[in-house]
Structure 1
Amino acid sequence: MILRTHCNKVKLRKTKKNLNSIIEAIKCTMNPFDDTIDKDTLFNISTGKAASKEVADFLLNVKTAGYQQKLNFISECSSTPARFDKPIKRNKICNFASQCMTKLLSTKDKNKKVLLKMERSLKKN
């Protein structure tokens, strides 16, 4: 009985710690449960920015597009058996990460160009 009580206290402590970390994460980012946000707009929870129309359409329709591509691949393979060995066309992915800012800069020697890309930080502060 004492062991069970101790285990429950440890479990409760872990649960409280996890809950507090979730609350802190929501405070540092965007609260997805806030009543003031637009319910018809897709938001990036980590940045609080609204998705562009292109990103929202892609993310909301990705499952349907994938299913359609699967059906196309199956029909192509059944009509042309050699199609199975050919590479599958890659899709342009349009998500929050692909919408980061990019800028092309020229260097002093004019023959070299550098692409600057602003990306989110993967390191936790």
Structure 2
Amino acid sequence: MWLNLLTSGEAVAAPSAARKRDTGVEGEVRTYGAGRQRSITTAGRRTTMAFTLRRVTTAQTARLEEWIGQPVMYRDYRGQRYVGAYYGLDVTEYKNEPDLYDVALTLHEVTWVEGA
């Protein structure tokens, strides 16, 4: 899969694992007169995608750290793509390979317009 920084097009590519997409809306159940219950939701959907980038180099990890909070595009071999931002990284070291890491992050999808 690939992550591209939207402002420059710079990319980080790596195999991925444990990809999970979560979609929902903000809402609650409210009680009204005579005990009636109604579902109240807000407009828009909230989508997050959690995944782990496998065997990422030290340089790629540093680049991902620089991109925290900036808009990036996620693309994968299935042709899926999402634009969003992530706000932190969970980095795991490889014991026998000092230049490689697994980097887990959660991408929070944002609304964007494609085209000129």
- The TM-score normalised by the length of structure 1 is 0.21
Q: Identify the structure with bigger relative contact order (alpha carbons < 8 Å, sequence gap 6+).
A: 2
- The TM-score normalised by the length of structure 2 is 0.22
Which of the pair is proportionally richer in helix?
1
Which of the pair is proportionally richer in strand?
2
